[in-house]
Amino acid sequence: MALITLLTDFGTADGYVGEMKGVIYAMHPQAHLVDVAHDVAPQDVDGARLAIARYWRRFPLGTIHVVVVDPGVGTSRAALAVESDGRFLVGPDNGVLSPALLRSDVRVVELAIPAQASATFHGRDVFAPAAARLAGGSPLEGLGRTYDAPVVRRTPEAKRLADGSVSGEVITVDRFGNLITNLVAPRGGAVVLGDRVVPIVRSYGEGASGDVIAVIGSSGLLEIAVRDGSAGGTLGVARGAPVVLRPAPAA
């Protein structure tokens, strides 16, 4: 059974996701569809990219990941199908597929845009049919021509400072309001956010209600949280805010 995942910024109120599913099932009734999420913030390519990085390799070999966060739909941006690490990804060439594109074994083709395709809904008219064809056994090369220069977005790298601390930034804010950074802190320490020094603890539960704390999240990245609240809302902080890691003193 072909496994196809869907990640979009469409929401579920308007039937757009249903249209995509209808196209896939009409072409390949045996497909098994998994809704990863449809509440990515509208046009948030980087948010979707970071979401994909979390899950695309957690699924079995052969899984087809469809990603439609596509503010450039209808423009000259390419439509892509990608094979990487034994999985497939289908989506726009705007950097959203970067986690798979960064691997050395990646193969990429450019999908043809049918003349009858809507200029505002390639999810239905381009990406869903491509996913269905892959699910039906079509080889990647059967979907289009080789594409050598896909757009790649990278998470900004943290920088070590002269005093041994590390400068980074908030790279996304999750639905709980946690500020996820590009910092890694395997030995604890503290994080400086503006004029606030935030201690690094092991789990969210180690803070009292309302406390601002920092934890190492499940992805290995340091995140700033408010116990029983939203760090983003409480602190008024958004993506791009600078942070500094002060590592714990050596034992």
pLDDT digits (tens, 9 = 90+) for 92-126: 999 999 999 999 999 999 999 999 999 999 999 99
Structure-block tokens of residue 138: 């079509």
Buried b (16+ CB within 10 A) or exposed e, 172-211: bbbeebbbbbbbebeeebbbebeeeebebbeebeebeeeb
Three-class secondary structure of residue 53 per DSSP? helix
Residues 179 and 98 in one domain: no
State how far the Cα of 46 lies from the Cα of 64, in Å rounded to an integer: 20
Lowest-confidence segment of 46-55, 80-89, 184-193, 204-213 by average pLDDT: 184-193
Is residue 192 scored above 70 in pLDDT?
A: yes
Measured CA to CA, the distance from residue 192 to residue 243 in angstroms comes to 6
Both 99 and 127 in one domain: the answer is yes
Rg of the Cα atoms in the chain:
20
Residue 183 maps to which CATH number? 2.40.30.90
pLDDT, position 251: 58
- What pTM does this model have? 0.92
Helical (H) or strand (E) element with 47: helix 45-55
pLDDT of 3-62, one tens digit each? 999 999 999 999 999 999 999 999 999 999 999 999 999 999 999 999 999 999 999 999
Domain boundary among 120, 146, 172: 146
* Amino acid (1-letter code) at residue 59: F
> According to the model, what pLDDT value does residue 131 have?
98
The pLDDT of residue 250 is 62
**Domain membership flag for residue 70:** yes
Which residue range is the domain that position 73 belongs to?
3-146
Query: DSSP of 18-36, one letter per residue?
Result: HHHHHHHHHH-TT-EEEEE
Residues 140 and 208 in one domain: no
Does residue 151 sit within a domain? no
Q: Which H or E run contains 192?
A: strand 189-193
Q: What is the maximum alpha-carbon separation in the chain? A: 66
Quote the CA–CA distance of 16 and 169 in Å, as a whole number.
Answer: 34
In whole angstroms, what separates CA 213 from the centre of its chain?
Answer: 24
